[in-house]
Structure 1
């Protein structure tokens, strides 16, 4: 890394544990906090990129925290992992090659692996420590790494896509919030790289922040990438331990229309899921009026 890429050394995840409770206070959600009761700290350290904390909570199972922000709790992770994976995969008639950027905990891989028609899964995670400690402490998510179709690349996703043009049917970006190393993942040049790395008819699905908190981030990004993607949509899921209990997804297509309706319905697969189903797929794109107006200028 260059000096400009060196991580800040100020944050210490252990400082956020006070009187046996972990307190998440993020700059992207001012005036509110999320607290979880800690039973045991399983790991704390600093990777090349960020502060990494793993603890066992009293009621939410094992919790992964990066730079002070909750990424995964065993209690509710499935609502996020299933939706970010199955929304784009079920919207594609025949996804064979899938790229995951980020998602080092392995949960997205776990969900993609449930699609028997997928032939290749590649994951690009820039922080190898996230993979390492997820395998150690979150085996229920990291089980995705055991699939023989998976190739792991510990590297920058932008660099990987530059070397792999017109290659993927679906690209899923499971990123942390746009602070620190994940900041570039919320900018138009990154979406252009994904577009170039998609096959014709391909679909991208990215973590799209919270409609209650981040419309000022979502709206300009959607407007900008609509200049080169043929369709851009915003869907969302509910998840109690993310800020305001909601997280969105930006889905965009290359020479394909709307993804609001699934191209495939697989009731057998749905039996193995806890959140996603074909009916919820369509409902996830129905936004409250304030969000629809703010994101799409009431189109």
Structure 2
């Protein structure tokens, strides 16, 4: 089925799209083999296309860039970033863990081939080295050409770029990083392994003693079962501190995005709770077995399904990640050219609506 039709791009839930194509294998989100349902069934999001700039299949996925909300990056039919609102996602996923850590010198980014997370991480003068693991070189090359505002830091001398499987990279790097940021797509197909307990165990082991982990944590409106599982089953048992934050991403389904933040010391962002509350809960549950602290945050991203994005924040030690270890002044916000994140919003992102809190208490 052509997602570009009469000058419009339409983003369907992968399971709905497979049904419309009359294909037998309906794409469902999974965590450790457990089916968590469709991504955002029964919903669709459309953008008017001014011009198709790039469309090609890489060795791993379908890559599309078109002009609409600025330039828009789409992977396998799902919007990853638009120039209009990308900063709301990038700043929350990066700065929640970066400011939770008192002195982040060595940072690992898994995924993030568009360069946005790298750009935000390098705004911190404490950073001495950033390692990025991106499996798809085409995403990096396309972003350099069509998303210059996001990919502007690939030439940094602080960057060590590894084009390969982040899962394999983690197996060979223990106790190396102060902060790890995992910027993955939804848990469908190849990305399913990045939402399982074995992956979070590798993340924990790659962090140093006081390390902090941040992971996109789906939308509470859509993925609460997955978030619950990651938070309580995977993160909480191995991190002393686990938090969940939520922020706005207008171009994502439901308009929200969640972030799970974990800390190896007692200090902590995931999908949208409107769409994936069961998935989020699943993620939170297993992370509580892996990390001393697991928390969930959220923010708004208008072009993401449901308009929100969640973040799972995990810590190996018992630090309070809901409070930034380094607080920004107004001048600091200006100097870092931040358009979404600030120290007050850092703490506010972890204040969750009652329907999510009720699920957390039941775990």
How far apart are the structure 2 equivalents of 1:281 and 1:221?
21
Which residue of 285, 288, 293 corresponds with 2:350? 285
Match runs of 1:140-155 below 5 Å? 140-155=149-164
Deviation string 1:202-245 (CA, Å, 9 cap, x unpaired) is 00000100011000111011111211100000001101000100
1:255 alignment counterpart: 317
Partner SS state of residue 142, structure 1: coil
Partner SS state of residue 192, structure 2: helix
2:41 alignment counterpart: 30
How far apart are the structure 1 equivalents of 2:332 and 2:113?
23
Which residue of 107, 116, 120 corresponds with 1:98? 107
How far apart are the structure 2 equivalents of 1:256 and 1:113?
26
Is 1:274 the equivalent of 2:339? yes
2:188 alignment counterpart: 179
Unaligned segments of structure 2, at least 5 residues: 16-38, 239-290
How far apart are the structure 2 equivalents of 1:256 and 1:156?
30
State the TM-score, normalized to the length of structure 2.
0.76
Question: How many residue pairs are counted as aligned between the two chains?
Answer: 283
1:73 alignment counterpart: 82
Is 1:244 the equivalent of 2:306? yes
Deviation string 1:32-76 (CA, Å, 9 cap, x unpaired) is 11100001111111111111101111xx10000001000000000
Partner SS state of residue 244, structure 1: strand
How far apart are the structure 2 equivalents of 1:22 and 1:269?
38
Deviation string 1:229-269 (CA, Å, 9 cap, x unpaired) is 00000001101000100010000001232300000013243
1:20 alignment counterpart: 7
1:117 alignment counterpart: 126
How far apart are the structure 2 equivalents of 1:259 and 1:274?
21
1:43 alignment counterpart: 54
How far apart are the structure 2 equivalents of 1:205 and 1:119?
19
2:208 alignment counterpart: 199
RMSD: 1.1
Which residue of 166, 178, 181 corresponds with 1:157? 166
How far apart are the structure 2 equivalents of 1:92 and 1:82?
15
How far apart are the structure 1 equivalents of 2:52 and 2:173?
40
Contact 1:208 1:218 survives alignment (8 Å)? yes
Higher fraction of strand: 2
**Would the alpha carbon gap of residues 289 and 298 (structure 1) be closer, same or farther in structure 2, given more than 3 Å must change?**
farther
1:298 deviates by 5.2
Partner SS state of residue 255, structure 1: strand
How far apart are the structure 2 equivalents of 1:114 and 1:155?
25
2:244 alignment counterpart: none
Higher fraction of helix: 1
Which region of structure 1 is more displaced relative to structure 2, 139-148 or 91-100?
139-148
The 4+ residue runs of structure 1 with deviation greater than 2 A are 266-269
